[in-house]
Amino acid sequence: MSAARTATTAAAAQALCSELGGLAAQPQEGSLPSRVDLHRVWVFRTRVVVLDYLVHGGPVAFDVVPDESGQAWRVVVHARNPVDRPQVAALGLPPAARPHRFRVGPPIPTTDEARGASLAEVVLDRCHGVLDALAALGPAAQTRRLLDALGVSQPLVVVDVGANPLELPAYTRLLGMGVCRVVGFEPQPEAFAQLQGRDPAREQYFPHAIGSPGRHELRIYQGSGFASTYAVDQTSIDFIANERWRDGTRLRETIDLELTALDDVPDLPAFDLLKIDVQGGELAVFESGRRSLASALCIIPEVSFFPLYDGAPSFADVHQELVAQGFALHKFMFQKSVHLHGSQSDEESLRGSRSQLIDGDAVYLRDLRGLADFPSLQVAKLVLLATYVFDSPDLAVRGLDELVRRGEVSKKVVKQYVGQRYV
């Protein structure tokens, strides 16, 4: 593809992306909105890469790709998790060039006259058709069997502090399967606005800032994921020497706000899982929520290993507080490292090196050495969390073994679990 044509196609992709985002934000008729939520739309090079939807918790991606002639677009669907691939394959769509991907309808002409509707409307209509069909199929068979065996009669309750929807949250699959309820908090106005329009029976969001009570200043940077009550440590940003980070940490505005202690949030239900990402403010949330956290089973905080914010607590500070509250570090779900730019960073042998650990998502669990004393409902919920949230199948089996010991599930369930892949 020539440089001129590439530029033209990239511009068309950007325009399509903007229009799709606007259309998808509008309420849709029928049963679809209660089962499926648009996550995000973005452009990569010359194509609109992904329309992320959530069907039974599994992210389903639609790539909208220009064909070789540049005169049409193709819609391709694929499942983001291997467990969902059989469900997508069961739709009987023709296979695309890449494995586990399928074409959705014929190529869509670039001209309005040949389509009879806008390009975005045609794309969205095809996506909704696939999603309706997937919703009718229901979750994978092994997922249904596990849910039936555990018999969790009430949904897990998730509290999400810092619910900015920049990415799919760890509890996505539980939410899509309808086995959890979310109470979220997000003080950034733009991010809070993006969380509106969800099914209130499953998700409720409030514009509260949670932390040490009192007046504070929220600093909103160019990259909304950097928003914090702490100022960025410019020495650290200069040391990393990444231009994207320099741009993202430029201060855009400040907002005066009142922080509320987690224990003081009115009508906050008892919860099983706390997911938290507040850019240095995690320790204050834990310290102000000891009463609320006393019955929690799992905490997934973002933890910092490198001082991005001036004066923010470190991983050691957060770890010490959670251990004191009866939690133990179980694993890391994700760790982010960056390349340290230097004189030879353009050399191929060095370009891919990312040696500086920055932060990550940790999983803390109520001390598992006392598993035998956990109520059976809490053990069943632990199995669901280990399976669908933080991918610890060995822990899930340990929980199932405990339920077998109590006579509440059969040994067959454990064998079936080991023989199937759930996440």
DSSP 32-66: HHHH--EEEEEEETTEEEEEEEEETTEEEEEEEEE
Rounded Cα–Cα distance for residues 55 and 85 (Å) = 12
Give the model's confidence band at 376: pLDDT under 50 very low, under 70 low, under 90 confident, else very high. Answer: very high
pLDDT over 90, % of the chain = 53
- pLDDT interval class at 139 (50, 70, 90): confident
Amino acid letter, 235: T
Residue entry with tokens 């309005």: 112
As a whole number, mean pLDDT of residues 299-310 equals: 96
pLDDT reported for residue 239? 92
Closest by CA position to 199, among listed 234, 170, 175: 175
Measure CA of the first residue to CA of the last residue in the chain; give whole Å: 38
75 closest CA partner among 130, 31, 28: 130
Q: What is the pLDDT of residue 132?
A: 83
Predicted pLDDT of residue 23: 59
What is the distance between the alpha carbons of residues 108 and 123, in angstroms, rounded to a whole number? 8
Q: Are strands 38-44 and 108-109 parallel, antiparallel or unpaired?
A: unpaired
Instruction: Tokens for 389, please give them.
Output: 């949230």
SS3 339: coil
Task: Pick the more confident residue, 362 or 88.
Answer: 362
Q: How far apart are CA 145 and CA 421, in angstroms?
A: 12
Q: What is the band of 34 on the pLDDT scale with cuts at 50, 70, 90?
A: very low
